[in-house]
Amino acid sequence: MHHTVLSHIATFLAQHGVAPGASIYVADAALVTEDNLAALGDTLCITRVPATYNACGRLIAEAVARNTWEDVGILAHTKPTKPRPVTS
């Protein structure tokens, strides 16, 4: 399903002058399939490795150990509230 959505999004963005690779696709772990990753092409993505993958725990530990995070800014379009602060 993601590959269909990715195709529609890429077409929409192109129609509005957004170059390939100029956006970030945020998705759940269902994105991580061979077909979906191939469909991403130059599109950057933020997702997580499915917990059923053996690499999941290793990748999390490696990311935390490196501690080299890149701020991508605020990821929400809704205003933050006290119980639900802004995600960034």
Which percentage of the chain shows pLDDT scores above 90?
11
pTM metric for this prediction: 0.56
- By mean pLDDT, which of 29-33, 63-67, 84-88 is the weakest? 84-88
Nearest-angstrom CA–CA distance, 35 and 58: 24
User: Phi and psi for 81 in degrees, rounded to 5?
Assistant: -125, 170
Q: Over the stretch 37-80, which tens digit does the pLDDT of each residue have?
A: 888 887 888 888 888 888 888 888 999 999 998 888 887 778 88
In this prediction, residue 66 carries a pLDDT of 95
> Of 72, 73, 49, 77, nearest to 61 (Cα)?
49
In this prediction, residue 71 carries a pLDDT of 85
